[in-house]
A and B are shown apart, each in its own frame.
Chain A
Amino acid sequence: GAVVSQHPSRVICKSGTSVKIECRSLDFQATTMFWYRQFPKQSLMLMATSNEGSKATYEQGVEKDKFLINHASLTLSTLTVTSAHPEDSSFYICSASSGTGITAFFGQGTRLTVV
């Protein structure tokens, strides 16, 4: 299957700083990318959907000014957690779709810890 790479896999940052997570589709063009958040021992919740070259669409309750999503190319989307707070500590997973089918491929996730 297609490969989606997320980087970094694990990051620790200080409160108040920003951290960027990258999601890359390695062998296909991802017209749409999705960002999910997973709290410990809970399910994955969709945060936002991004289409290449367009502004991301955020789910209700997700602060768009805090979670900045950029999808500037067909192979890269980034999630920037701004002014990070300990409550932002979570597991973030992206998925990417070429749009030609209905199967999206998931990255391996990023464990964010804000101290």
Chain B
Amino acid sequence: AQSVTQPDIHITVSEGASLELRCNYSYGATPYLFWYVQSPGQGLQLLLKYFSGDTLVQGIKGFEAEFKRSQSSFNLRKPSVHWSDAAEYFCAVSISTGNQFYFGTGTSLTVIP
């Protein structure tokens, strides 16, 4: 069965510092990979996705993620964090049919001045 692991439950960074959120997946083939952000009490906003091709994908709000097949990872990065980036971040995978998502447990990001 497929699974998604986000090892970091909570991360605190200073505003302006760089950020990396980790995501590892377990699946027999290369799944489709996503990162979503959720503000408190809100729904999910898609940051970026990887289907195929270039393993470095650019998303909204200055985020990027790199797919590394050898490590089964899809880590999210941002070079300079803004206070408004404080939220919950979810990594998710989707299989080729059905469009159902399997989510990681999420990483809560706190940004300090």
A25 contacts B by Cβ under 8 Å: no
Residues 57-90 (chain A) with a chain B CB within 8 angstroms = none
Task: A99 to B46: give the CA distance in the assembly, Å.
Answer: 18
Chain B residue at smallest Cβ distance from A108: B43
> How far apart are the CA atoms of A100 and B61 in the complex, in Å?
27
Residue from A49, A93, A108, A109 in contact with B100 in the complex, judged by beta carbons closer than 8 Å: A49
Contact A34 B105, CB 8 Å, known A43-B90, A103-B49, A109-B43: no
Closest beta carbon of chain B to A49's beta carbon, Å: 6
In the complex, the answer to whether A102 meets B44 with C-beta atoms within 8 Å is no
- With the chains together, A23 CA to B22 CA distance in Å? 31
Q: B42 to chain A: which residues have CB within 8 Å?
A: 108-109
Distance from A100 Cβ to chain B, minimum over Cβ atoms (Å) = 10
In the complex, what residues of A have CB within 8 A of residue B106's CB?
42-43
Do B44 and A43 touch across chains, with their CB atoms under 8 A apart? no
List the A side residues contacting B101 at CB < 8 Å. 34, 36, 44, 46, 95, 104
* B35 touches A (CB below 8 Å): no
Question: How far apart are the CA atoms of A6 and B36 in the complex, in Å?
Answer: 18
Q: Do the beta carbons of B102 and A46 come within 8 Å of each other?
A: yes
The 8 A CB mask of B75-113 against A (1 = contact, 0 = none) is: 000000000000000100010101111111110100000
Tell whether B63 is near chain A: CB-to-CB under 8 Å.
no
How far, in angstroms, from A25 to B36 measured CA to CA in the complex?
Answer: 19
**Docked-complex contact B46 and A102, CB < 8 angstroms:** no
Specify which of B41, B90, B99, B102 is in contact with A102 (CB 8 Å cutoff).
B99
A-B contact pairs, 29 of them (CB 8 A): A6-B43, A32-B99, A36-B101, A42-B106, A43-B90, A43-B103, A43-B104, A43-B105, A44-B90, A44-B103, A46-B101, A49-B98, A49-B100, A93-B43, A93-B44, A95-B99, A95-B101, A97-B99, A102-B32, A102-B51, A102-B94, A102-B96, A103-B49, A104-B94, A104-B101, A106-B36, A106-B46, A108-B43, A109-B42
